[in-house]
Amino acid sequence: MKPIVQISLDLTNIDEALETAAMAMRAGVDWLEAGTPLILAEGLHGVRRLRENFPNVPIVADLKTMDGGYLEAEMMAKAGATHVVVMARAHEETIKCVVKAGRDHGVKVMGDNLGCDDMVEAAKWLEDLGCDYIIHHIGYDERRGIAAAGKRMPSPLDQLREVVAAVNIPVQAVGGLSLEQAIQCPAYGAPLVVLGAPLTIDADEFKTASGDLESSLRLICEKIHAYGDVAVKSLA
């Protein structure tokens, strides 16, 4: 599988999100993500605006669904999302409902293991329930809380190889990755590379980061795309 670069639009203003998305497309990004802050601020209207402006680009709706799975997935699919996110900590029936909605409405389901006691087993469980992708995720609050306590901040890279080895579907690592770490993800067997806070989004203010972001993004995309094929068992 060729590496895919996804930008997480963790913004709270749709106009800024559209500007950032356009810049990301120029730089070579493959997928757009309507981040949770954007969905909270703009809802279905934000996803529709992204679809209107980028008609042929995959759009991930980071719903972090915990209940009402079928309806949430269905609504986002009708608004133009191609991928939706359900949490491993949700009830099994919720995950099944999201998977069914995905099949019924032609969207892919990404299962997120954030907050699970055993993240490897959670990834396997999500695959068993029918998810198409795994998001191996160390959360924003978790990272900041542990760092504030003076302890080493956890990284999704800590168990990424184990998660990749445990499942047959593509894996994505999320959670405070540095530029160098994001570029390394394909080497860990994770072909879906997410660029968000702190790489492209200000982690404290949830706005587009300052500096020459487009040039930086272009360089990141070039390096990730140059990696070549990443082995994924389900595609073997």
Residue labelled with tokens 């909270």: 40
Q: What is the pLDDT of residue 160?
A: 98
For 5-63, write each residue's pLDDT tens digit: 999 999 999 999 999 999 999 999 999 999 999 999 999 999 999 999 999 999 999 99
Q: What is the pLDDT of residue 202?
A: 46
Q: What is the mean pLDDT of residues 105-116?
A: 98
Here the tokens at position 39 are: 């969905």
Q: Which amino acid is at 174?
A: V
**Arch. (CATH architecture) of 4-235:** Alpha-Beta Barrel (3.20)
For 162-191, write each residue's pLDDT tens digit: 999 999 999 999 998 888 899 999 999 999
Rounded CA-CA distance 34/196 in Å is 11
Here the tokens at position 132 are: 């198409």
pTM: 0.92
Rounded CA-CA distance 33/166 in Å is 25
Q: What is the pLDDT of residue 236?
A: 67
Rounded CA-CA distance 181/28 in Å is 19
Q: What is the 3-state secondary structure (H, E, C) of 12-81?
A: CCHHHHHHHHHHHHHHCCCEEEECHHHHHHHHHHHHHHHHHHCCCCCEEEEEEECCCHHHHHHHHHHHCC
Peptide linkage before 198 cis (omega within 30 of 0) = yes
For 191-210, write each residue's pLDDT tens digit: 999 997 555 554 454 445 55
Q: What is the pLDDT of residue 206?
A: 42
DSSP string, the chain: ---EEEEEE--S-HHHHHHHHHHHHHHT--EEEE-HHHHHHHHHHHHHHHHHH-TTS-EEEEEEE-S-HHHHHHHHHHHT-SEEEEETTS-HHHHHHHHHHHHHHT-EEEEE-TT-SSHHHHHHHHHHTT-SEEEEE--HHHHHHHHHTTSPPP-GGGTHHHHHHH-SS-EEEESS--HHHHHHGGGGT--EEEE-TTTTB-TTT-SBPSS-HHHHHHHHHHHHHTT-----GGG-
For 132-143, write each residue's pLDDT tens digit: 999 999 988 898
